[in-house]
Amino acid sequence: MTQNEMKKAAAIKALEFVENDTIVGVGTGSTVNYFIDALATIKNKIIGAVSSSDESSKRLKAHGIEVFDLNSVDVLDVYVDGADEITKHKAMIKGGGAALTREKIVAAVAKKFICIADTSKQVAVLGSFPLPVEVIPMARSYVARELVNLGGDPVYRQGVVTDNSNVILDVYNLEILDPKALEAQINAIVGVVTNGLFAHRGADILVLGSEDGVSVVI
């Protein structure tokens, strides 16, 4: 199987976690795009979706799936999203697609986080993938200096403005041995909106596409 076939297989398998007559939390990225396309095949069985990005909202609407404002939704049973890296404890780095803040908000509301990924995303230690940090534009240089003090090498993601009108710093060369501690430490820097470590609220279930097929890791 190619990487895209693994992503697609994981995305289709994740449909098994979607209950009838519910609103589904939907992430962002190429793996999630396969999930949205799969969700369209059962669109008459669900009420609709809450989306983590303008990009995903557009794709959901193009399929005729209603997109709800999170403020009008009390309960989300599942949130389905991809990851840039995931450990065996299901802590993740996310935000390669710059949607990390909304992803973290929707994930916080959901009862279960289902991560859909291919095997290339599995790591022993987080940090080979540069850690995205969403920053208020006027704080960019200050936050970058603070991130250097934490041992990282922040790089401004040129030309990218998030759905919340902020900028992204990608932090290279972090060996993240304590993801929960670093997630809290970076979020405490003034000017940071959030960072792409999903450790306090990691995934509950990993649906993994591999050469041998799809497995569900609980």
- Interface contacts to ligand 5RP, rule CB under 6 A: 27-31, 81-84, 94-100, 103
Distance CA 209, CA 5 (A): 8
Closest separation between CB of residue 26 and ligand 5RP, Å? 11
Tokens 């999630």, residue? 32
Cβ nearer to ligand 5RP, comparing 22 with 30: 30
**Contact between 99 and 136 (Cβ < 8 Å):** no
Task: Tell me whether residue 97 or residue 127 sits nearer to ligand 5RP (CB atom).
Answer: 97
Distance CA 63, CA 51 (A): 14
DSSP string covering 104-173: HHHHHHEEEEEEEEEGGGB-SSBTSS-EEEEE-GGGHHHHHHHHHHTT-EEEE-TT---TTS-EEEEEES
Closest CA to 90 of 129, 61, 117, 50: 117
55, 85, 103, 134: which is the annotated catalytic residue?
Answer: 103
Q: Which is nearer to ligand 5RP, 8 or 140 (CB)?
A: 8
Do residues 157 and 168 make contact, with C-beta atoms less than 8 angstroms apart?
yes
Q: For 31, which DSSP code?
A: H
Nearer to ligand 5RP, 18 or 26 (CB): 26
85 is catalytic: no
| Closest CB 193 distance from ligand 5RP, rounded Å | 13
Helices (H) and strands (E) in the chain, counts: 6, 13
The CB-of-15 to ligand 5RP minimum distance in angstroms stands at 16
The nearest distance, CB 20 to ligand 5RP, in angstroms, is 26
**Any idea which residues carry the catalytic annotation?**
103
